[in-house]
Amino acid sequence: VSSFVDITEESSQRRLLGLTVQAAGLGTWDWWMPSGEVKFNERWWQMLGYEPGALPAAVTVWESLVHPDDVAAARAALQHHLADHGQPYHCEFRMRRADGSWGWIMAAGAVIERQANGRPQRMAGIHLDIGARKALEERLADAALTDALTGLPNRAALRTRLMQCSARAQRDPAYCFAVLFMDFDRFKQVNDSFGHDAGDELLRQIAQRLRATLRPSDDLARLQVAEHTAVRLGGDEFVALLEPLRRPEDAMLVAQRLLDALAAPYQLAGQEVTSTVSIGVVTSQSHHGDPEELLRDADTAMYEAKRRGRGRYVEFSRDMHERVRQAVDLEAELRRALRADGEVFPVFQPIVDMSTGCIRGVEALARWMHPTRGAVPPIEFIPLAEDSGLIAELGELMLRLACVEASKWREEFGADDRFTVSVNVSRAQLRKPDLPDVVERVLSGTGLDARVLRLELTESVAMQDAQIIPTLNRLRALGVSLALDDFGTGYSSLATLDQLPLDAVKIDRSFVEKMVENRYQAALIKATLDVAGTLGLDVVAEGVETEEQANMLRLAGCRLAQGWLFGRPEGAARIAERFRKSVDEATGDVRPRRA
Ligand code: C2E
Ligand code: MG
Ligand code: MG
């Protein structure tokens, strides 16, 4: 008896399948289960870097190539399929290649023949090289834990690490770690002044310094700071995780190192930029909360470091929460106060000619008298206004109020062409191209002669921002004069006096203070006077408190000075009183009266 079956259809199907397998680069396997013999196609061997048939074609050999960590999962997948053949066999594992490296494989297959009793006897399937996909997955997983800009671990990565550290600290009382929360004191200004590209560049340079500073060096090795890691949380916020630490105090040594390393000047777009950093420190010894709470407390301590004057580190303590809450309240309060009538107002400090004793001008300084808190010191609310974006509003208010007073004085005491009213302007104001328009409006609104108004810009601001020069020129074109404030505290040289459109320079109080004992400060003051004299600039020495300082300044050739020796800042009414008592009828000069 013969039977004939037409296999034309079947063989063409098989050819098609063969072509597909080849085109897809699939390895195939065909496992005869009773003997354990497996047939592999050429591609299968190729995937592992072997010549076809280089190894015995046995299922045990195959299994011996699977990564030890993946064997259990691979077996389980097989059992799963054998137990329930409705489920296809599918799994992913690493296999050792001929060169010893590991390659990721995806295996799929099914039982294709059974014995009469139903037991599986033949399985077949494919292998697919999924190395590229796994590499991508790993990269994505890394990316999820990495800050793209700096390449540092990110917040998610830090959270995982902190959980591990906290868990370990609970088990092992000898184990100690610390979190240093860092924030740049001038980042926003750099971003505003130089643009986002420069801001990004600054962040990359910061990251580099963090890495370098935390890298194990001799002293750090001695401190046993082994697994220290720098993390970027976002914006200009970075965290250093120090662990393990031998003693909690070692965290402060590292914090100091970071302060030093990060305060050195940065080169950005061909310019030098400096910024301090404020650091909040929390050690595991003083903290048993969860990682989120730990970070929040480190942030709180950082905030406190800023409040105490920036450029420093502060260790967290419980009572800080309350203070920070108050600071946040303070911002809302300042916002309100700026719109309330008379709560924020200027006081005026005389600037005198030391050779004649005449008052040559006044500087308007902002004061805030809070209805319940009392006087809030400028060192607190000026940085707060800068950080919260309220500074422009504050600046405009001060400008207007100072000009109102100045025009009243002009009316009552007559015009002295050399008399100036100085108003401080912040970087945020200078950055606004409409500042000259604002100034012009205020001048015409108050009817004040533009020559009376002098705007003080801080040295660091002026030096780091080439974009403001057109604004400065427009201000001067209005007739307003410009003074460089706090000279000597930044990093600019005497040459900058020539580069900026200036009328005056104010030597910072710290220089006047040190001048008496320190020859360097004395020499710098002399050099400033020389250069300023050549350029035709007024020089005002700030913070003159003693006769000794005044005499030294006089000898050095400095005529103009401001300081407690000649008068403290006073309200408009008191200053007017002082003018009234000392007006020189003949010249119209306003003379100070010595107490
Ligand atoms: P500044 O512009 O350098 O003002 C001089 C500061 O030195 C004032 O501090 C003044 O009271 C103080 N001072 C004057 N003479 C002496 C002295 O003999 N000894 C001592 N120890 N201090 C003296 P103040 O009023 O606390 O202001 C601090 C800073 O706040 C100012 O420094 C200025 O940068 C800023 N500021 C004040 N008002 C404004 C404002 O309206 N706008 C802006 N943007 N900043 C302002
Ligand atoms: Mg000033
Ligand atoms: Mg100053």
Six-digit token pair at 534?
């050549």
Ligand 1 atom nearest to 378, measured from its CA: 26
509 C-alpha to center of ligand 1: Å? 10
Ligand 1 atom nearest to 565, measured from its CA: 18
- Choose from 118-122, 191-195, 215-219, 546-550 the range with maximum mean pLDDT: 546-550
Residues with CB under 5 A from ligand 3 (ion): 485-486, 542
Q: Which of 552, 569, 573, 553 is nearest to 561 (CA)?
A: 553
Nearest CA, atom 6, ligand 1: 543
Question: Between 321 and 66, where is the model more confident?
Answer: 66
What 8-state DSSP symbol labels residue 589?
Answer: -
Buried b (16+ CB within 10 A) or exposed e, 561-570: bbbebbbebb
Ligand with the closest atom to the CA of 490:
3
> Of all residues in the chain, what percent carry a pLDDT higher than 70?
94
Ligand 1 atom nearest to 545, measured from its CA: 18
Average pLDDT over residues 166-185: 91
Work out whether strand 120-129 and strand 102-114 pair parallel, antiparallel, or are unpaired.
Answer: antiparallel
Cβ-based neighbours of 146, under 8 Å, separated by 6 or more: 152, 153, 154, 157
Nearest CA, atom 28, ligand 1: 378
- Give 232's pLDDT tier (boundaries 50, 70, 90): very high
261 C-alpha to center of ligand 2: Å? 30
Helix axes 378-388, 391-413, angle to 10 degrees: 120
The SS3 of residue 145 is coil
129 C-alpha to center of ligand 2: Å? 70
Q: Check: CB of residue 505 under 8 Å from CB of residue 462.
A: no
DSSP string, 336-394: HHHHSTTSEEEEEEEEEETTT--EEEEEEEEEEEETTTEEEPHHHHHHHHHHHT-HHHH
Ligand 1 atom nearest to 386, measured from its CA: 44
Work out whether strand 538-541 and strand 560-561 pair parallel, antiparallel, or are unpaired.
Answer: parallel
pTM: 0.60
Q: Check: CB of residue 566 under 8 Å from CB of residue 348.
A: no
Query: Among the listed ranges 71-75, 504-508, 513-517, which one has the minimum average pLDDT value?
Result: 513-517
- Give 185's pLDDT tier (boundaries 50, 70, 90): confident
* Distance between CA atoms of residues 240 and 254, nearest Å: 9
Phi-psi bin for 53: left (phi > 0), alpha (psi -120 to 50), beta? left
379 C-alpha to center of ligand 3: Å? 13
User: Burial, 447: exposed, middle or buried (Cβ in 10 Å; 0-12, 13-18, 19+)?
Assistant: exposed
365 C-alpha to center of ligand 1: Å? 6
The SS3 of residue 449 is coil
Pocket test for ligand 1, best of 189, 347, 369, 382 (most atoms within 8 A of CB): 382
Question: Between 190 and 446, where is the model more confident?
Answer: 446
Q: Please give the single-letter amino acid code of residue 7.
A: I
Nearest CA, atom 41, ligand 1: 366
228 C-alpha to center of ligand 3: Å? 40
* Distance between CA atoms of residues 270 and 391, nearest Å: 28
424 C-alpha to center of ligand 2: Å? 5
483 C-alpha to center of ligand 2: Å? 9
Ligand 1 atom nearest to 564, measured from its CA: 18
Q: Mind listing the pLDDT tens digit for each residue in 141-153?
A: 888 888 999 999 9
Q: Check: CB of residue 528 under 8 Å from CB of residue 505.
A: yes
Pocket of ligand 1 (CB under 6 A): 349, 365-366, 378, 382, 391, 395, 398, 424-426, 456, 485-486, 509, 542-545, 562-564, 569
269 C-alpha to center of ligand 1: Å? 31
Ligand 1 atom nearest to 458, measured from its CA: 34
If one counts every other C-beta atom within 10 angstroms of the C-beta of residue 382, the result is 18
Nearest CA, atom 19, ligand 1: 543
> Of all residues in the chain, what percent carry a pLDDT higher than 90?
56
388 C-alpha to center of ligand 2: Å? 20
Q: Mind listing the pLDDT tens digit for each residue in 258-297?
A: 999 999 999 987 888 888 899 999 999 877 678 888 999 9
Nearest CA, atom 30, ligand 1: 378
